[in-house]
Structure formats: C-alpha cells, structure tokens
Amino acid sequence: MSDTVEMAPLDEAGPRRVRVDLGPRGYDIEIGRGVFDGAGARLEALFPGARFAVISDETVARLHLPAFRKSLEAHGLGHVALTVPAGEASKCFAQYERLCDAVLDARLERGDVIVALGGGVVGDLAGFVAASVRRGMAFVQVPTTLLAQVDSSVGGKTGINARQGKNLIGAFYQPALVLADTGILDSLPPRDFRAGYAEVVKYGLLGDAVFFAWLEENWKAVFAGGPERDEAVARSCLAKAEVVAADEYEAGRRALLNLGHTFGHALEAAVAYETERLVHGEGVAIGMTLAHEFSARLGLLDTLDVERITHHLKEVGLPTQITDIPGQMPPAETLMDTIAQDKKVSRGALTFILTRGIGQAFVERGVDPDAVRTFLEEKLHP
C-alpha cells in the first residue's frame, strides 16, 4: 500500500471476497492467488451432484484447462470440456449455436453448470449459452484475464456480437460464483494485462478519485503481482458490484460503467475488431481520454485533469489518442454511424458518460451529435 494514499483495507486473510448483492441472484467473487486450485472443492460444495460443461478458448485450454480438469476430477465432478477458437470472432451466432448444441448433446440438465474458463469473450459467450439452454442453467465464471476479472465476469452482462455492433444480442444473466485467481494473470501477455488495467483505471475515474491516486502510486506493484494486484482487482470488483446492485438492468446509473466505451466501441468497429491494431482495453483507454477531453471542451472539466489522466495511461503503456492506432482510420461519419447504432442511444439522442472531474463521471442524455462529430474530426486529423 502506498504511504501517501490510503484506502480502507479489505480483508487481508486468505482470498478476498466481494459480494454482489442482488437478493436471490446475489453471488460471491473470490479473489486471490490459488483460488483456481480450489475450484473443484468450491464447485462440489455449491453444486452437489451436478455435472459441468467447461467452456474455454484454444489458448486458455492449452494453458489452464488440464489443471482445471484435474481439480474437478480430484472431487469426482463429471464434466465435458468445450473449446472455441481464441478471439472476438467467436462471439458469434455460429459458435453460440454450436455450444448450445454441444451442451444439449452432453445431456446436461437444468441444475447442471456451465463454467466459463477464460477471458471476456469466453465469459460473454458461455454466459449467453448458460442463460438460454433450457431457459437458464447454473453458471460460474473463472476469469483468466485481468479484463475479465475486473469487468466482464461481474454483473451478468452476457452476449454475442451482431453484424451491426458488439454485444447487441444477449441476456442479463448472473453467475452463481466468480473465481478470480490473480496468480493466473502472471501468464498474460503484457499487452493484455495493460488492456485490462484500463478498466481498473476506469473505476477510479468514474467514481473514486482516491483509488485513481492510489493507482498512480502503486501501478508497478499491480503489474508485478504483489498484494497490490489483489487489492486493485478487489477494489474494482467492489466498485462494479455496487453499481450493478443498484441498477442490475442498466436503467440508469449502471451506464456509468460505459465511461470511455461509446468512443471505444466505435474505434474497435472502425478497425473491424482487428486486435493487432486495437484490443478492447486499448479502445477504452483512448475512449476514456476522449470522454475527458470532450468534457473539458464542454467546459465541464479542468484540462489539468485531462493531462493527469493522459499521463498515467501513457506511463503504463496504453494508447490515449486515435492517432495512436496503427493504420488508416475511417472518416468521422463512419464512427458516428457506429455510435448512433450503439445500444446506449435512446430515441435518437446520444447518451455519453461525461465527467466533472476525476471520480465524478455522470450520464448525460441528449448530447449534440454535431458537437461529437466536430470533435472526432479534429481528433482524427489533429
């Protein structure tokens, strides 16, 4: 912990536990090194007599599936393993249908369990399968990326991509348990860890200035994998859990979690989701910078805050400008089309997450599309 920025300590003994308080749909997130190895014991206790379908992608299956299966087998838990190709392209109708079919072929019943072992793509896809096979099976998230641990595995948003944009088909469907092993993140490529870190920064920027300041001082330890990493993951999950508990179905406040995401999604679409050019967290890093710059342009925010945020994202190695993306970008009009089709649009008016300062984001409905277009044109051709 930093000696200049103090946060209230979380429980320090053993894995940290964050509760997502959704009444009958509430669940625990267990965070720490070694949580993975205890998976079999936890699942046996939570789902006595159940069978499991473990869904992962080819990369995760190679790295982590043998150990996970061993943990299940040590407790005599029957299971099938289903694997999709790595990458965003697997969040599609074809893989969704293939997985539903495989789960039914394995004769899993309503009380049986779908386990998502992987990153955000696997979690979103497997979650939608769990939501819809037999109109809902039990679901467990075992996120293996930082992005999934602090964002996509928490809160119950599941889904696949459509031709028209990301995550446009899906369900709100809560897991029964999330097992977030922070030690497993040691095997992540640095670029993927950085991308996930963008979402950690987001929680500071949207509502917790103390956490942002703590990250400025402690980010190297978070990257290196000390107790600061567990702290950052737990703090992020806690922030998300609070927002989700207040607004499970995104009627209002939950939209705050989209800070940086409207711009970010448009940029991902603009590069046709080519991850060589841009991964999701990088899009969020640029998108958050743009959201703060746009807020400053509207006179809501001090430009010193923009500089501070930009400085931190840059020092960890994240991109902050559209011009940081390699290759040709489409015209502003193409980005606007994606933004207009984004599901955060309501009745033709644009909804953006804007901010009045670090930790002071808010939902603004009715943003002027012309102002956004002009802003994007300048950012595309500075």
The 122-161 contact track toward a second copy, x by CB under 8 A, reads ------x--xxxxxx--------------------x-x--
Please pick, from the candidates 1, 22, 169, 367, the single residue that binds a second copy as defined by CB under 8 A.
Answer: 169
Locate tokens 């920025």: which residue?
A: 5
Please pick, from the candidates 33, 297, 343, 373, the single residue that binds a second copy as defined by CB under 8 A.
Answer: 343
* 142 bridge partner residues: 117
**Rounded to whole angstroms, how far apart are CA atoms 378 and 382?**
5
Nearer to a second copy, 62 or 110 (CB): 110
Q: Out of 216, 228, 250, 282, which one is annotated catalytic?
A: 250
**Rounded to whole angstroms, how far apart are CA atoms 333 and 231?**
41
The 235-274 contact track toward a second copy, x by CB under 8 A, reads --------------xx------------------------
CB 230 within 8 A of CB 33: yes
Interacting residues with a second copy between 45 and 64 (CB under 8 A)? 49
Please pick, from the candidates 19, 164, 189, 323, the single residue that binds a second copy as defined by CB under 8 A.
Answer: 164
**Rounded to whole angstroms, how far apart are CA atoms 206 and 278?**
23
Q: Smallest distance from the beta carbon of 347 to a second copy, in angstroms?
A: 6
Reply yes or no on whether 242 is catalytic. Answer: no
Torsions phi, psi for 189 (to 5 deg): -60, 140
Which among 102, 99, 171, 166 has a CA at the least distance from the CA of 135? Answer: 171
3-state secondary structure 245-268: HHCCCCCCHHHHHHCCHHHHHHHH
Listed ranges 9-17, 166-174, 215-223, 374-382: which one lies at the site for a second copy (CB under 8 A): 166-174
Tell me if 323 contacts a second copy by CB under 8 A.
Answer: no
Q: Smallest distance from the beta carbon of 335 to a second copy, in angstroms?
A: 17
- Per-residue exposure over 193-220, b if at least 16 CB sit within 10 Å of its own CB, e if not: bbbbbbbbbbbbbbbbeebbbbbbebbe
Nearer to a second copy, 72 or 129 (CB): 129
CB 51 within 8 A of CB 60: no
Interface ranges with a second copy (CB under 8 A): 49, 93, 97, 100-101, 104-105, 107, 109-111, 128, 131-136, 157, 159, 162-165, 167-172, 249-250, 340-341, 343, 345-347
Provide the annotated active-site residues. Answer: 135, 157, 199, 240, 250, 254, 258, 261, 265, 280
